[in-house]
Amino acid sequence: MANEEVTYKEKYEELFVNYNHLRGELDQLKRLVYGSRHERFIPVSSPEQLALGLESSALQIERAPITVQTIEYTREKKSGSEKVATGRTKLPAGLPREQVIIEPEEDITGLKKIGEEITEELERIPGKLFVRQYIRPKYAKKDGDGIVIGTLPSRPIDKGIPGPGLLAQIVIDKYTDHLPIHRQIQRFDREGIKLSSSTLTDWIGSTCELLDPLYEVLKKQVLRADYLQVDETPIKVLDKDKKGTSHRGYHWVYHAPNQRMVLFDYREGRGGEGPGECLKDFKGFLQTDGYAVYENFDKKADITLLHCMAHSRRKFDEAKDNDLTRASYVLTEMQKLYALERQAKSDALSHEQRHAIRQQQAIPVLTELKTWMLDSYK
């Protein structure tokens, strides 16, 4: 009988642990689907926040008492930053003006003009296609010694009909304004120009080839920076072999914050080949998330691998339902770091000043967090 009680108890504990595990996965899924991106954290000690009584009934663990406090900071308003009430938005002075003079219907003979009322409206003439003709007179040389004719200027697509302005508009419409090719074809059709999807696709491809030199220059400038942030994001790519289907590709994004420059490198997969090739000559600080591919760069002598505080913070935000007390403690300590960064940004501190204030105020917080975590995981 005693053995049966032990068996039932063990079975109950196993089911209870599984229940909490599944409950945690469900909570995480709900957070991904319905949660706020900002993941705002309000400590449980805040008197303004009412408790709803929805905390998870996970196994209680004995812990040392932890004091949770709310971090606040003040920010001075810069002079001239107050919002000024204005009337109708003024139209840019650089826009061309078309004047329409409206005289009174009454007889104004002998009247003196004392002023005028000006009312402006913003108008637009829809873009129109036109044909540019290159007319090159031909001249016969004396004594039948050949023909003289002017040289055609360089054109984006050799022997093609689209001009540079038209190609630029097609590319901007597709990749900036997200206007699909078939809708652009419909617009051309309304203007009496019949174009096929393959024609527009070829034009876009040829235009992108013309941009390759610019891309290579951008790539060199971004990868020359001594501080990079790297992340990869999935993107659906239409499959050219199977109509109507798509596969998953990846855009690897390289951001140089100090230079305010971004590089997109498309790869078919999420393996380490892409960043390995792009960063083979990189030297400096590399900031990433915890994806295993990036760990290889920590072994290179010329690269200092940094991780992202936002990703670390997210894990503790997700742990609130499982262990509210300890998760709240870490989130509150991290608030000190975020408050420090907000204050530095508000005061427009230089890089040297930010480094000094971080050494003075952020390092103690991080050191205390490290000690607490090591003690908590023993």
Residue pLDDT, tens place only, 280-302: 999 999 999 988 899 889 888 89
pLDDT band of 15, cuts 50, 70, 90: confident
Predicted confidence at residue 49, as pLDDT, reads 44
Q: What is the widest separation between alpha-carbon atoms in the chain? A: 125
pLDDT at 63 over 50: no
Note the pLDDT of residue 58. 41
357 contact partners, CB below 8 Å, separation of at least 6: 340, 344, 349
Per-residue model confidence (pLDDT) at position 251: 94
Mean pLDDT of the region 338-359: 93
Predicted local distance difference test score (pLDDT) of residue 47: 44
**Which region among 219-223, 310-314, 336-340, 361-365 has the lowest average model confidence (pLDDT)?**
310-314
Residue 328: alpha-carbon gap to chain centroid: 29
251 near 265, Cβ under 8 Å?
yes
Q: What is the DSSP letter of 152?
A: P
| Spatial separation of the C-alpha atoms in residues 229 and 252, rounded to whole Å | 11
Does the predicted TM-score (pTM) go above 0.85? no
pLDDT at residue 61, rounded to an integer:
40
pLDDT at 80 over 70: no
In order of 203, 243, 304, the CA distances from 237 in angstroms are: 19, 12, 34
Residue 254 tokens, joined: 């390289």
Average pLDDT value for residue range 261-289: 93
Number of CB atoms found within 10 A of residue 200's CB = 18
Query: Residue 303 in contact with residue 283, Cβ under 8 Å?
Result: yes
The helix (run of H) or strand (run of E) holding residue 197 is helix 197-223
Q: Cα–Cα distance between 333 and 370 in angstroms, integer?
A: 11
Distance CA 156, CA 165 (A): 10
pLDDT in tens, 313-335: 988 998 888 888 999 999 999 99
**What is the arithmetic mean of pLDDT over 113-122?**
90
Average the pLDDT over 107-111 and give the result. 90
At residue 57, the 3 state secondary structure works out as coil
181: tokens are 């090719």
Question: Which band of pLDDT confidence, cut at 50, 70 and 90, is reported for residue 60?
Answer: very low
**Binning pLDDT at 50, 70 and 90, where does residue 59 land?**
very low
Closest to 58 measured CA to CA, from 304, 361, 320: 320
If pLDDT is split at 50, 70 and 90, which confidence band does 239 have? Answer: confident
Signed CA dihedral, 191, 197, 198, 204: sign only: positive
Lowest-pLDDT range of 71-75, 146-150, 199-203, 367-371: 71-75
Greater confidence (224 vs 60) lies with: 224
Q: CA-CA distance, 240 to 144, in Å (whole number)? A: 55
The percent of residues in the chain predicted with pLDDT above 90, rounded, is 51
pLDDT-based confidence at residue 77 (cuts at 50, 70, 90): low
- ∠ at Cα 299 (298, 305), nearest 5°? 15
Which helix H or strand E contains 246, and what residues bound it?
strand 246-256
Compare 76 and 192 and report the one with higher pLDDT.
192
